[in-house]
Amino acid sequence: MATIKIDTTKYPGNIINNAFSPTSETRHSINPSTGEPLYEVPVSTKSDVDAAVKHARAAFKSWSTTSFSERSKLLIVYASAIEANREELEKLLVLEQGKPLTLAKSELDMTLTWLRAFATMEVKDEVLDSNSERTVLQTFPPIGVCCGIVPWNWPVLLNVGKVGPALITGNTIIIKPSPFTPYCDLKLGEIGMSVFPPGVFQVVSGGDDLGPMLTEHPGIDKVSFTGSIATGKKVMESCARTLKRVTLELGGNDPAIICEDVEIDKIVPKLATLAFLNSGQICMLVKRFYIHEKIYDRFRDAMVEFTKTIKTGDGFEPDVLVGPIQNSMQFEKVKDMYAEIDKCSWTTAFSGGVREASKGYFITPAIIDNPPEDSRIVTEEPFGPIVPLLKWSDENDAIERANSGETGLGASVWTKDLARGEKIARQLSAGSVWVNSHFDVAPNVPFGGHKWSGIGTEWGIAGLKSYCNSRSLWIWKNVM
């Protein structure tokens, strides 16, 4: 196994106004594969937040009037600076998050692609009416000071997925990492210090009380939050007091409807990977498999055979697909879901379980064979490597079951008949729907959820507009 030396015993501070800003208190999180502590990071107080907001407000004055081409140029420089540090970031990401190194590399690939794409995306004025008397334009000025609140499962991409859109549209932004994964997010701020003007991009790190300090702060104009539904509701409630603009990217419980005409051997490796990737800790993985009854048994058996080949272990070991669960709180939640197997007498097609001998939070994949539709494994997002397989025979029934529940983040249909696939896809209530795929995302494609999976969208021009106000500009030509 690769041994990574951490040469820092204490990170120098928050990233405020392009300088390290130390805090009197510090904390650390741990490597979830080994339980070993990582280095100390800041614990921000209200005065740190006040300082960041003050500098962000000051910086907004000039950044909001900086040309698109200049902002674009700096985003490209920033992407190159991240690229120059990518190896260190990838290793740090494995250390703090637990994901396999190959997945950390693909997170960095996506990060660079996303930033470089945002740098080309200009939200242009739209001409709504133009005649000899008047021109009416819709213009999109930046909102002001934004705050990006980031979760622990995808801390690099979901950070730049907020920083890029905020900055290219002329806002300033303060990022708050998850207390479980502050390390890469602080490094991303540190890299930004030599690229952006002071106050434009800042990072404040801390404990559980830091999120509310930011959502309540009257000097922040918009919050973009990615995380759980429960916290998303608190964020919205808190933001309502100062009428902040809010974007919420929340949890999902994605269904995949598998029709009877698929080639099982071709799709099972992809589908099983899309269930267990990042140990199931991705908002938009397949979390419920609805399989046509004619192929159910063959599909289940092929899925079991493939799952037997999946390696669970430390992210630095070669060929690992399932790393540890990221933190003890999530580990307890996932263990509780596994405990339901015996309690509720579910049939397992493949039984996974906790690796008792390890100090890390390891739990191997499990496949539940046709549990009742109202069981927790079907109705809840487990956020771990455990999935239910379910049977269907009537298409409308499959659609109805796929659409049940409070979430609507992603959904997919798998069939050779593309017309049928599209017809089903158009009836699925989710922010992203795929025919013969799942979890495709792109920086130029809006991403968001229906129902309790979120409010608003990020990415794409529509997502960039969520970092802008709308200004209708009426210009009368012949008054004087």
Segment 344-403, which members bind ligand NAD (CB under 6 A)?
Answer: 381, 383
Footprint (CB under 6 A) of ligand NAD, residues 264-323: 283
Structure tokens at 475: 């210009």
Rounded to a whole number of angstroms, the minimum distance from the CB of residue 211 to ligand NAD is 2
Contact characters 442-471, ligand NAD, x per CB under 6 A: -------x----x-----------------
Nearer to ligand NAD, 172 or 281 (CB): 281
Which residue's CB is nearer to ligand NAD, number 229 or number 272?
A: 229
Q: Return the closest-CA partner of residue 159 out of 172, 177, 144.
A: 177
Residue 210 near residue 52 (C-beta atoms within 8 A): no
Question: Of the ranges 8-16, 244-252, 269-277, 296-304, which one interacts with ligand NAD (CB under 6 A)?
Answer: 244-252
For 280: left if phi > 0, alpha if psi spans -120 to 50, otherwise beta; the answer is left
- Candidate ranges 113-121, 149-157, 413-421, 471-479; the one touching ligand NAD (CB under 6 A): 149-157
d(CA 195, CA 190): 10
* Contact (CB, 8 A) for 81 and 43: no
Give CA separation, 196 vs 73, 124, 171, 391, in Å.
Answer: 10, 23, 12, 53
Q: How far apart are the first and last CA of the chain?
A: 78
Q: Is 74 in the site for ligand NAD (CB under 6 A)?
A: no
Q: Does 41 bind ligand NAD (CB under 6 A)?
A: no
Shortest reach from residue 30's CB to ligand NAD, in Å: 16
The answer to the question of residue 249 lying near ligand NAD (CB under 6 A) is yes
Out of 53, 95, 250, 368, name the contact with ligand NAD by CB under 6 A: 250
- The closest residue (CB) to ligand NAD is 211
Q: Known catalytic residue: 260?
A: no
CB-wise, 119 or 229, nearer to ligand NAD? 229
Rounded to the nearest whole angstrom, what is the least distance from the CB of residue 130 to ligand NAD in the complex? 38
Catalytic residue among 90, 96, 249, 381: 249
The torsion region of residue 263 among left (phi > 0), alpha (psi -120 to 50) and beta comes to: beta
Q: Please report whether residue 409 would count as binding ligand NAD according to CB under 6 A.
A: yes
Q: What angle do CA 220, 211, 148 make, to 5 degrees?
A: 55
Tokens (6 digits) for 332: 């307890």
Hey, which residues does 130 pair with through a beta bridge? 135
Say how many residues touch ligand NAD, by CB under 6 A. Answer: 28
**150 belongs to the binding site for ligand NAD (CB under 6 A):** yes
At 472, is the secondary structure helix, strand, or coil? strand
Please list, in sequence order, all residues whose beta carbon lies within 8 angstroms of the beta carbon of residue 461, skipping any fewer than 6 positions away. 121, 123, 444, 446
Instruction: CB nearer to ligand NAD: give 93 or 349.
Output: 93
Binders of ligand NAD among residues 195 to 214 (CB under 6 A) are 211-212
Integer angstrom CA distances of residue 99 from 115, 133, 147, 151: 22, 60, 26, 14
Q: Does 27 bind ligand NAD (CB under 6 A)?
A: no
Within 10 angstroms of residue 404's Cβ, the number of other Cβ atoms is 16
Binding site for ligand NAD (CB under 6 A): 149-154, 176, 178-179, 211-212, 215, 226-228, 231, 234-235, 249-252, 283, 381, 383, 409, 449, 454
The residues annotated with a catalytic role in the active site are 249
